[in-house]
Amino acid sequence: MGSLQPHRVAEVLFSEEQIQVRVRELGAAISGDFSDESEPLLLVGVLKGASLFLSDLVREIARPLEFDFVALSSYGDATETSGEVRVLKDLDIAVTGKHVIIVEDILDTGLTLRFSYLIENLIARHAKSVRVCVLLNKPSRRRVPVPVDYCGFEIEDRFVVGYGMDYAEQYRHLRYIGVIEFIK
């Protein structure tokens, strides 16, 4: 998929209603796991893909919390990893002594340098704990184990867009998650 190709959304994988039900369930699970309101809770969204998911999720967590965003890059171009993580936007909120939940749109191989970098970086900053919440999990592509504490949906190896996820910066605005088809 190195060069742009004609494409379209071929199938709705999860409707807006299905997503919202699952986000409410995830919010309830997190609320239950972190019911002690004296313990600081910080949700960290990974830009850009997790922005809509995080926005909906924080409204479903029944306790005080903070949230912030990071933007990291490990790709020299669109298809090949550079092997180096660049921080494009760092956290504005300190994590020391806080329970931190990384909120990500999709997890597939587990090899993404930026993901393991983020976990290690938060631990080095003295977060009290670090957990992972993903909207979509592709376990069939996993090559490196990654702890997933909260999972929206498990999916097969398909190219998906919508609800914050994109192809060439398109489709993020969709209220549903769809499978993209490349037209030859």
Instruction: Respond yes or no: is residue 108 known to be catalytic.
Output: yes
Q: Report whether 62 contacts 85 (CB < 8 A).
A: no
Catalytic pick from 33, 56, 105, 108? 108
Angle at 124 between CA 99 and CA 97, to 5 degrees: 30
Residue/partner pairs of 50-53 with CB below 8 Å, 24 or more apart: 50/103, 50/104, 50/105, 50/135, 50/164, 51/164, 52/163, 52/164, 52/172, 53/23, 53/103, 53/105, 53/135, 53/152, 53/163, 53/164
Residues noted as catalytic: 108
